Amino acid sequence: MSRARKKKGRAVSGWVILDKPKDLGSTEAVSKIKWLFGAQKAGHAGTLDPLASGMLPIALGDATKTVPYVMEGRKVYRFAVTWGAERTTDDMEGEITERSDIRPERDAIEALLDGYRGTIEQVPPSFSAVRIGGERAYDMAREGESVTVPSRVVEIHRLDLVECPDADTAVFEAECGKGTYVRALARDFGRDLGCFGHVSDLRRTSVAPFDEDVMVPLADLTALAETETDEERFAALDARLVDTGEALAALPHVAIGDGEARRLRLGNPVLLRGRGAPVAEPEAYATSGGRLVAIGEVAGGEFLPRRVFGG
């Protein structure tokens, strides 16, 4: 009988709410964080373009089981649009395809925004991670293929014009749902205003349920790792982790005892007792002593575990 291969790295779990710098890809950022923490596994909740900065939630260990819940969270972006040119990538990286000498007035920009609030249809950029026939759109576009990306329905919960620092630039803030492309917003603003436009600066400030104040710059984490011993290094880094259960803030919560926690971790249902205990919930999470135990369903007053977490 062959022995199970021992996993490399530490069994550390939690969220690193990284303040990603510009010119660093999301996959590269995950690899860097995984190496710094010596983690067995890692993943991120929502790609952030290399030219963008800001919040990139990175899950370590058991926290990777909660990534889908963060992927569904609302996101807040602050972005600058430069008028007068449309580019292949809808940001500064691409080649210019259209030009205009027209520059929109502030009133015209403000009047435009109502049409972009709420539920809208949006065509993602050709240079995007959307799959077409099993291939990424950006791979096809880079190979020179003509890419037709189908439209999708997205939700814009809030969209504000923050400032117009000069005639060529407008700065916006948007709170939006999963699948929204800010670059596509800039492109469509420019087309509607008859002046063309592209994103010239982009920063993500929030990914629900995480707030801006828990972000940590990569440089700070790198500095924490410069200690004499691994024990000191990992202790300093682990202190910056956000608890795995914080990703589940949108779900109903039940607190259980140690005995129930052991049963759930073995995959067994437990009866929920006490005043206020839920009778039925399609999805909820259970904790014991403040530690995440399981995600599951509540039916007939019982918690039925679907995903369990180590003690």
In a 3-state reduction of DSSP, which class is residue 1? coil
* Catalytic-residue membership of 220: no
Which value, to the nearest 10 degrees, does the dihedral of the CA atoms of residues 48, 49, 54, 56 take? 20
In a 3-state reduction of DSSP, which class is residue 103? coil
Which value, to the nearest 10 degrees, does the dihedral of the CA atoms of residues 74, 213, 223, 58 take? -20
- 8-state DSSP, 188: H
Q: Under a CB-based contact definition with an 8 Å cutoff, are residues 129 and 147 in contact? A: no
Q: Under a CB-based contact definition with an 8 Å cutoff, are residues 52 and 155 in contact? A: no
* Catalytic pick among 19, 49, 90, 91: 49
Q: What is the DSSP string of 15-80?
A: EEEEEEPTT--HHHHHHHHHHHHTBS-EEESS---TT-EEEEEEEEGGGGGGHHHHHTS-EEEEEE
CA distances (Å), 243 to each of 17, 225, 249, 303, in order?
A: 11, 20, 11, 22
In a 3-state reduction of DSSP, which class is residue 231? helix
Beta-strand pair 75-83/169-176: antiparallel
Which residues are catalytically annotated?
A: 49
